[in-house]
Amino acid sequence: MPIPVRIVLVDTSHPGNIGAVARAMKNMDLAELALVRPQSFPSEEARARAAGADDILASAVVCGSLEEALAGCGFVAGASARLRSLPWPLMTAREAAAKVTAEAAGGTAAVVFGSERVGLSNEDLARCHVLLHIPTAPGFSSLNLAMAVQVVAYELLLASDTAPSLAPVREKPLASAGEMEHFYVHLERALVARGFLNPDNPRHLMRRLRRLFNRAELDTNEINILRGILSALAPDVPPGPG
C-alpha cells in the first residue's frame, strides 16, 4: 500500500517538473498527486520526465483551488524555501515527515509545494498547520521544485518505515481542511459584525488567528463547539457553508 500522503503542487509552470515529481513519488511509494492550476497538463513533457510513472500522472487530480485540492485532508504541511514575515510553526523536512506520516495513519495528510517562480502565497500558507523547510547552505535555499519533492518524499518513506503506528491519540479525527475554512469564514464574519475586525484595516488578524487555531490541531468535535459558540454570540451572522 502506498504511503497515504497527498502531494499538492500549486501553480506549477513547467510540465517537466510535474513529470519529475511523479517519478520521485513513484520511487518513494507515494501515489496521490493533486495539481492546482497547472500551466500545462497533461503534457508530453511531463510524460517523458515521469520515466514510467505514468500511473501517477494518469490519476493526478487537477483542481481550481488549493481548498479543492485539500478536500478531506486533515494535517497539512506547506513546503517553503523562505522564512515569512509572520512566522509560522516551522519544522525541518525530517521532523515534518515524521509528523505527517503519523497523522496520515489516522486520516489523510498532505504536503503542499509552491510555484517555481514565487513559491507559496501567504494565503496558501494560512491553510497549513506547519511550514516544512529543507535545510540548505546559507543564502541559497531554493531547490528545484521536483528536487524538493524528492527530498520530502524520501523523508516520508523513511518515516513511514520506522514509525508505522504512531498515530496521535484523538477522540475524533482532525477537522478537515474544508471544515477549518468554513470556521474561518464564520469567525471573520462574526468579528466584523461585532466591530472587532475592521475590514478596511484587517492587518494580520485573520492570519494570526489561523496560526493560533491551526496550532491547536482542532478535531471535528472541537470545531463544532467553536461554530456553536459563534452562532450563540452572533446569531445574526450567517454561518456560511458547512
| Residue 116 lies near ligand SAH (rule: CB under 6 A) | yes
| Residue 120 lies near ligand SAH (rule: CB under 6 A) | yes
How far apart are CB 150 and ligand SAH at their closest, in Å?
11
Q: Are the C-beta atoms of 161 and 102 separated by less than 8 Å?
A: no
| Residue 141 lies near ligand SAH (rule: CB under 6 A) | yes
Q: Which stretch binds ligand SAH (CB under 6 A): 24-32, 73-81, 165-173, 183-191?
A: 73-81
Question: Closer to ligand SAH at the Cβ: 59 or 92?
Answer: 92
| Residue 13 lies near ligand SAH (rule: CB under 6 A) | no
| Residue 91 lies near ligand SAH (rule: CB under 6 A) | no
Residue 146 to residue 17: CA distance in whole angstroms: 6
Nearest residue to 8 via CA among 82, 55, 63 = 63
Q: How is 176-223 classified by DSSP, letter by letter?
A: PHHHHHHHHHHHHHHHHHTTSS-TTS-TTHHHHHHHHHHHTT-BHHHH
Q: What distance lies between CA 13 and its chain's CA centroid? A: 19
| Residue 39 lies near ligand SAH (rule: CB under 6 A) | no
- Give the residue, chosen from 148, 218, 234, 237, that forms a contact with ligand SAH under the rule CB under 6 A: 148
- Which parts of 105-162 fold into alpha helices (H)? 122-125, 145-162
- Give the residue, chosen from 100, 134, 175, 223, that forms a contact with ligand SAH under the rule CB under 6 A: 134
